Amino acid sequence: MTREYHQTVYTPPAGAAELLLIRHGQSAAAVPGQNFPMVDGHGDPELHPNGHAQAQAVCDRLKDRSFQAMYVTTLRRTHQTAAPLAAALGLTPSVEPDLREVCLGDWDGGEYRIRAANHDPAWLRAKERQEWGELPNAETTTSLHSRVRRGLLRIAGAHPDQRVAVFVHGGVIGAAMAIASGSEPFAFHGAANGSISHLVIQNGQFTIRGFNDCSHL
């Protein structure tokens, strides 16, 4: 009998951590002259009602999967997005500060959205040069990537052979995917609210298994 060789189905290698990076739901709108509450220099808006609906959709999508841990950042929009899934799975999220959103400097607290919508020259330079540091007193792209890598490796090191739900931010997902792929820094910007991206990390090596999955939304 001739032996047949079929295509294989991917499984994470031994010792790898499987991280599902979930962007928080839509947050409250920015209003000129009304800054968001601040936490350690970062705007901290709560979820918009649409964001709560997206959080429930994430829960409905993932509640039947097995997770051994869950992480959020220092900002409440990740806590609120994680809450339905945490309740469904009986997990208590841990906080990973290094995965907080990029610090937007003088434009944090809602100003960034207004400036971007109006095509402020500094925003255009940041896009062209793929450098957050073009914004006044903002964190640099190098700094963001350094801490995002550190936070992801810390989670992966704590969870070998486990699947982990990690509720984070759009800038962080963009950084994580750029780190994993070796792409230009802003290549993966624009992950949707409530979307799911998928990384496998083993011995410091990053493998992308998915980006911006919105099929549940």
Provide DSSP, 165-178: EEEE-HHHHHHHHH
Per-residue pLDDT, 43 = 95
Q: Is residue 9 part of a domain?
A: no
CA dihedral defined by 188, 23, 210, 178, rounded to 10 degrees? Answer: 30
- Which residues form the domain of 181? 25-213
Q: Is residue 3 part of a domain?
A: no
Per-residue pLDDT, 205 = 95
Mean of pLDDT values over 102-111:
96
Per-residue pLDDT, 1 = 82
For residue 29, give the CATH number of its domain. 3.40.50.1240
Percent of the chain with pLDDT over 70: 100
Q: Is residue 1 part of a domain?
A: no
Q: Is residue 131 part of a domain?
A: yes
Q: Is residue 121 part of a domain?
A: yes
Yes or no: say if 196 and 22 are a contact pair by the CB < 8 Å rule: yes
Q: Is residue 16 part of a domain?
A: no
pLDDT per residue as tens digits for the range 32-75: 999 999 999 999 999 999 999 999 999 999 999 999 999 999 99
Q: Is residue 14 part of a domain?
A: no
- Inter-CA distances, 26 with 23, 30, 32, 162, 217, Å: 9, 12, 18, 28, 12
Q: Is residue 61 part of a domain?
A: yes
Percent of the chain with pLDDT over 90: 98
Residues in the chain: 217
What predicted TM-score, i.e. pTM, was given to this entire model? 0.96
Domain total in the chain: 1
